[in-house]
Amino acid sequence: MEKELAIYVSASAEMDAECELLGQLLAEMTKSIRWTIKRTPGPHELANPDLEALRASQFYLILMGSDITAPIGVELQAAKEAKLFTFAFRKMSVAPSPAGAYFIHHVDVEWQPYQTPQEFVRLFERALISQLLEGTPGYGLDVRDLEELAERLRALEEAEEGQGGERRRGAGHGGVILPSRE
């Protein structure tokens, strides 16, 4: 039996790179799950958000760049009313507009900061896998799916530990390198 999960993404057009990487991630994550992704309509679409699709989703993702655009606030409120599991990511490499800053500080979500689209997808993958493992059996995943996801999560954590071993000791902005005393 094919398993089907859905995610609704609230994101303005400036978050296209993140959304593209998200689609690639979901396509490759677990081959036995069919993912449906719906997104905030673009300004050129002249459409209302698909609130039925949002309410039918298992997950809600809000991506915040420099500005908040309509109808993201409506989508967030609908996701809260539907009690969807929410992932909230904020791009820290861009300064928020005044409206964006107000939104960031006045909505009741815990923002996960990131710098680049690649960092976002890496952080999101870990968060999503963790939620899929914690939320079972509610997501309908079988033992094989869970084992595959748990193995992927372990691999991601090990890779992250391997990168964290770098020890910086100065001279990154210039300096004097002394010979060793051997």
As a whole number of angstroms, the distance between CA 156 and CA 126 comes to: 7
**114 falls within a domain:** yes
> Looking at residue 11, what is its pLDDT?
95
The letter for the amino acid at 44 is: H
Q: What pLDDT does 173 receive?
A: 47
Residue type, 176: V
How many domains, in total, are found in the chain?
A: 1
Whether the per-residue pLDDT at 94 is higher than 90: the answer is yes
How do residues 133-177 score in pLDDT, each as one tens digit?
998 777 888 888 899 999 999 999 988 877 654 544 544 445 455
- Asked if residue 106 has pLDDT above 90, the reply is yes
pLDDT digits (tens, 9 = 90+) for 16-72: 999 999 999 999 887 888 999 999 988 777 778 899 999 999 999 999 999 998 899
Q: What is the CATH number of the domain that holds 132?
A: 3.40.50.450
> What are phi and psi for residue 121, nearest 5 degrees?
-65, -35
Structural domain boundaries enclosing 67: 3-160
DSSP 138-178: TT---HHHHHHHHHHHHHHHHHHHHHTT----S-BTB--PP
Supply the pLDDT for residue 178: 52
Is 180 contained in some domain?
no
Classify residue 170: in a domain, yes or no: no
**80-93: average pLDDT:** 97
Higher pLDDT, 165 or 9: 9
Looking at per-residue confidence, does 101 or 169 come out higher?
101
